[in-house]
A and B are shown apart, each in its own frame.
Chain A
């Protein structure tokens, strides 16, 4: 029992000092202009995703043969469920099945944001666990890192394509297929932090008073990885949105009827010469969203992780 007490004393002190340091970093981060700029655009996108049904949209999967391939701004007559008709302007035109591109683009925001966030969460959690184990448990390190090196030797999109071809296509498949190639990068990051932190006196202290391995890992080592991982997560999310668009664009991503930005563009490919709006509008939305996340990530990196920002 005597071993428990000193550990707790040391521990709470370390956590208290670490958390004040972290709080001040966060205060600095939210005042960074890049972070503000990026998060404002991102919040607008989140608002669009949530409010899509009330932003003058119609059912994004509704096929209307009478109004196929209309240019942006065309006024359409829409027949409602109860037989009445109403006039509405197709702000971004319609696609070759007569679906409203404006509605599809707005609903597509949901898919892209879900993919971005989910991939970041999956890749970071997998990478965190594997990285902690690899960095802390020496005898597993060589084995794990060889597997990670092997995975990194397969170009990311290709690995994702391979995984999609094995599993059935769908949102979950796409999320995992994009997250797996991103995981080794997170593992390497976490492992490098663990390797440097495990030599710190407070870790040695915790070990010497008999703290169990899992507690050392989660209480003393894990908090050091949070700031770099948040930075990594933003870049992962940005890249994931692009990857989903690429997979769907190639016709091997999310099922084509689902309104995702990649799917809208895939659909617009054939008639691109005459109706470029099917590629232009979703393209602008993707670029804006990914740009916002990247700019936010740059800002976060500069404030939260100054060591890393010097490298790039």
Chain B
């Protein structure tokens, strides 16, 4: 097991190296002096010279990459001249809403989608199955911000049940935090539910034809036990895989959802940074999201062995 984890850790090094190279060269591909681009539009020539010195822009490109990578690994993401802060500070400030939104969405989506998928598979061809599958195609087709605005219109403006926009920190007022998380999580969760429900249905369907399911039924186990303990557990690997792959959707969706609901998170930060051409922030956010995405998928790979002991690495 440890051997496997070590090997998987080694395997993600080239992946992260490509991401790092892309993020590094991103700035070099923009037209103009990288130092001037980093410093932003209102920089003085002293500031630009200072940045050139810090980044070693007069050195050969591979040495520049070395310096840059060293800085990144130490958590030194540089300075955002637009926000007048170090990028690390900026990220730390914006982390909570994004983290809260992702965790709420993940819990909401998995706890809705998996039962829906199992029931749809169990009652294959029924109206319920068709509704779930139809909903899943629809979930892929409606942009999340349209869903978001529809939800705001109905639940916040017409019915007045929930606040329209904004964020309350979890430590400040938990009740208000929950109230303000409901609509964003549902908005972001819909595409995720669509994805997970579809895969759950497909993989449970495949398992339901196996002999051990018939055996379990024959020995008189209840439907619930057969479905949950025998079918779902054996169908878990593809479901876990798609939850992992779906993290990319979740991150992309967070950018949009935060903009719709005015959550001051990393997604909004990304958009603000692109609009103000604040490259140190853009680079750091992309690097951070990609590392998180890769690590979550590594974690899921490791989880396979727990859900399916037949998998031996």
Contact = CB atoms under 8 A, between A and B. Distances in A.
B271 A251 contact: yes
Contacts of A252: 271, 274-275
A150 B15 contact: yes
Contacts of B22: 150-151, 154
Interface residues of A, number: 42
A252 B277 CA distance: 11
Interface-central residue, B23, B145, B157, B259, by most chain A CB under 10 Å: B145
B274 A154 contact: no
Contact of B275 (A149, A156, A158, A251): A251
Given A164-B274, A291-B137, A311-B202, A153 B146 contact: no
A251 B259 CA distance: 11
Contact of B289 (A158, A276, A280, A311): A158
Interface stretch (B99-107, B219-227, B228-236, B248-256): B248-256
Contacts of A242: 141, 143
B18 interface: yes
Contacts of A162: 23, 26, 282, 286
B30 interface: yes
B72 to A, nearest CB: 15
B142 interface: yes
B170 interface: no
B153 interface: yes
A290 interface: yes
A153 B238 CA distance: 19
Interface in B261-308: 270-271, 274-275, 277, 279, 282, 285-286, 289-290, 293-294
A245 interface: yes
A166 B29 contact: yes
B281 to A, nearest CB: 11
A277 to B, nearest CB: 11
Contacts, number: 136
A155 B19 contact: no
A272 B26 CA distance: 36
A194 interface: no
Interface string B185-206: 0000000000000110010001
B128 interface: no
B49 interface: no
B198 A149 contact: no
A113 to B, nearest CB: 15
Given A250-B255, A252-B271, A252-B275, A150 B17 contact: yes
B176 interface: no
Interface of A is mostly: helix
Contacts of B249: 155
A238 interface: yes
Nearest to A169: B274
Given A164-B274, A273-B157, A290-B141, A250 B16 contact: no
A312 B143 contact: no
Contacts of B274: 161, 164-165, 252
B59 interface: no
A250 B256 contact: yes
Given A149-B15, A153-B16, A161-B270, A283 B143 contact: yes
A295 interface: yes
A294 B282 contact: no
Contacts of A151: 18, 22
A122 interface: no
A166 B24 CA distance: 12
B151 to A, nearest CB: 12
Contacts of A153: 15-16, 18-19, 290, 293-294
Given A153-B290, A273-B157, 12 more contacts: A147-B18, A150-B16, A166-B26, A166-B29, A166-B30, A249-B256, A251-B271, A283-B142, A286-B142, A287-B142, A295-B137, A311-B202
Interface of A: 146-147, 149-151, 153-159, 161-162, 164-166, 238, 242, 245-246, 249-252, 265, 272-273, 276, 279-280, 283, 286-287, 290-291, 294-295, 298, 310-312
